[in-house]
Amino acid sequence: MKNIFLLLSILLSINTFSQSEYFITSADQTKIHVREFGSGEPLIFLAGGPGLNADYLEAIWGNLSSDYRCIVLDQRGTGKSILPKVDSVALTMENYIGDLEALRNHLKLEQLTLIGHSWGGMLAMEYVAKNPKNVKNLILLNPGGPTRSFLSYFPDNIQMRLHAEDTREAKVLDSLGKSDLRAIFPGYFYDRDRALAVKETLDFDSLMGQPGVIGITFSNFFSTQKDRVIHLKKYTGTVHIIQGRQDPIGESTVYEIQELLPQSQVTFIEKCGHFPWLENEDQVVAFYKVLHSTLN
């Protein structure tokens, strides 16, 4: 099933509007789009995928923007950060890190607080490995792992949760040359009924960035994993991991991160999948309680 690693969510029912938006220029001259919401201590949001438009995290920055300056970077190939060509030249870890450095320099910040969900957490770890002194607080929301190890069980954890109707839908989408993400979406949730309800509210096409980003980006990320493992250990700042207990990414991923970053503080949200802020009410309340505590 193609695009199994793309991770989705939903927009707030009432949209929040950016107080400002602008473009920065990365080292390779790519124009990177940035939006800001709220005021206070700056928080940098990194969305998942790779290749998802960042709007799916809107509920989270909407919750935090009354107390924090929430800065949303459209990663290259997503949102308004349009690449003239999606290829292995544009989508390197060096360029992704250059985007974050361009943002840090634009903001005139010595250190960043990074909030990365899923792939966004993986990118945050790559940045920390390359620039350990430039991050003071690393918040990983249901992150993928720093190496390819989690890929040995993550697809199976998705597949085992799918019903026959999901498999049939995936085959139809595949035959049409479309992403099967809509079909496999319930595999990311603890509560299937909740997943199906959320699924019906989503326009999956609008959540996707430019085609081709995921495969090229993952290929480059995993090709650099040996250096990342070595250099992650140099980071001495704070690390918070928040993860649904039943996230298909698995608890083993958390323990792999802890081995490299032993200062990590881990909180599991019970009866919860990959999107804690989208599960049932108890999980949503628990998620925001933990998230706020990491920032105080």
At residue 256, the pLDDT reads 97
Burial class (CB in 10 A: 0-12, 13-18, 19+), 68: buried
Model confidence, pTM:
0.93
Q: Is the confidence at residue 6, as pLDDT, over 80?
A: no
Three-state secondary structure string covering the chain? CCCCCCCCCCCCCCCCCCCEEEEEECCCCCEEEEEEECCCEEEEEECCCCCECHHHHHHHHHHHCCCEEEEEECCCCCCCCCCCCCCCCCCCHHHHHHHHHHHHHHHCCCCEEEEEECHHHHHHHHHHHHCHHHEEEEEEECCCCCCHHHHHCHHHHHHCCCCHHHHHHHHHHHHCCCCCHHHHHHHHCCCHHHHHHHHCCCCHHHHECCCCHHHHHHHHHHHCHHHHHHHHCCCCCEEEEEEECCCCCCHHHHHHHHHHCCCCEEEEECCCCCCHHHCCHHHHHHHHHHHHHHHC
Could you tell me the pLDDT band of residue 202, with boundaries at 50, 70 and 90?
Answer: confident
Separation of CA 63 from chain center = 17
Across 180-184, 190-194, 200-204, 211-215, the highest mean pLDDT is recorded for: 190-194
Q: Which residue has the higher pLDDT, 174 or 284?
A: 284
d(CA 142, CA 55): 17
Residue 14 in this model has a pLDDT that exceeds 50: no
pLDDT, the chain, mean: 93
Query: Residue 17: which pLDDT band, with cuts at 50, 70 and 90?
Result: low
Segment 60-70, tens digit of pLDDT: 999 999 999 99
- For 52, half-sphere exposure in the C-beta direction (CA atoms, 13 angstrom radius) is 30
The C-alpha atoms of residue 287 and residue 294 are separated, in whole angstroms, by 11
**112 pLDDT tier (thresholds 50, 70, 90):** very high
Q: Is pLDDT above 50 for 8?
A: no
Q: pLDDT tens, 263-296?
A: 999 999 999 999 999 999 999 999 999 999 999 8
Residue 177 has pLDDT above 80, yes or no: no
Cis before 50 (ω within 30)? yes
Res 2: pLDDT: 42
**For residue 180, pLDDT beyond 90:** no
Segment 23-64, tens digit of pLDDT: 999 999 999 999 999 999 999 999 999 999 999 999 999 999
Can you give the residue ranges of every domain in the chain? 20-152+210-295
pLDDT at 147 over 60: yes
32, 58, 71, 80, 82 from 21: Cα distances, Å: 11, 15, 9, 11, 15
**b/e map 49-67, b = 16+ CB within 10 Å:** bbbbbbbbbbbbbbbbbee
> How do residues 214-271 score in pLDDT, each as one tens digit?
999 999 999 999 999 999 999 999 999 999 999 999 999 999 999 999 999 999 999 9
CATH of domain 20-152+210-295: 3.40.50.1820
pLDDT at residue 130 above 80?
yes
Query: Confidence band (pLDDT; 50, 70, 90) for 18?
Result: low
Q: Is the pLDDT of residue 181 over 90?
A: no
